[in-house]
Amino acid sequence: MQFLFSKAGIVVLALAGLFVLERLFPAARAKESLNRLARNFSLAGLNFLVGPLIVLPLSQFAAGHALGLRPAWWNMALDLVVLDLWIYAWHRLNHALPLLWRFHEVHHLDEMLDTSTALRFHFGEVVISAVVRAGVTWLLGVPFATVLVFETLVVLAALFQHSNLKLPPAIERSLSLVIVTPSIHWMHHHARREDTDSNYATILSVWDRIFLSISPHVRELDMDMGVEGLHDQPLPRLILRPFRRKRQTLK
């Protein structure tokens, strides 16, 4: 329980710090909108409710009822690498399968990127992802504490890579060799399908290079963000969008 509070504190501090810094030192010209921020943080609020009600109990149950196949020499570092590979594959699957894209599209419809985008997900995607990750946790015997560490790293990585913070080019190039930086992930949010379906990595940037899914293009700060041919929608429509039968989608 103490770790949960520590995780929340770390995330809140990172969010607040980056939120302020990206407005003091923006990389791209910001299209500030109170409606947009309210929309993003409302979606984030729904997910914060889903977390303790569904995600955490499910993860804890899976970790506590693992198959017992975990070798004695396996450690947390290996767990984190495997989970990062899993989330790369899962992210890629969210773009490949129309059913999953219905939910993931809500994240991509944001037409500007900043730290609030990192928390903007449909609660349906969060629940589906938690169920699949619970299966991975159960199969590999990942301890619950490791799952919490991984989730904290994922949120911190997401806040950083979605941020509109201006970084010195040399520093960003160096970081991008190891982790996903804004210059990498912003291409994933480019409103052009070719780029949207690339750069799937979350923490380690190596996966896109290994599996040949890295975008051949370079970020331009004035490029259009979002989903090709679509515009963002009001909160009620975003919530209902995955459940509507007839709608225009990327796929």
What's residue 246's pLDDT? 54
- pLDDT of 19 over the 50 cut: yes
Neighbours of 214 (CB within 10 A): 18
Q: Is the pTM of this model over 0.85?
A: yes
Amino acid code (one letter) for 23? R
For residue 179, the cross-strand partners are 204
Calculate the average pLDDT of the chain: 92
> DSSP label at 117?
G
Residues 6 or more apart whose CB falls under 8 angstroms from that of 43 comprise 106, 119, 120, 121, 122, 123, 235, 238, 239
Tokens of 207: 């996966």
What's residue 249's pLDDT? 43
- pLDDT of 43 over the 60 cut: yes
Cα(196)–Cα(79) distance, integer angstroms: 28
- pLDDT of 108 over the 90 cut: yes
Cα(97)–Cα(251) distance, integer angstroms: 9
What's residue 248's pLDDT? 47
Q: What is the mean pLDDT of residues 16-42?
A: 92
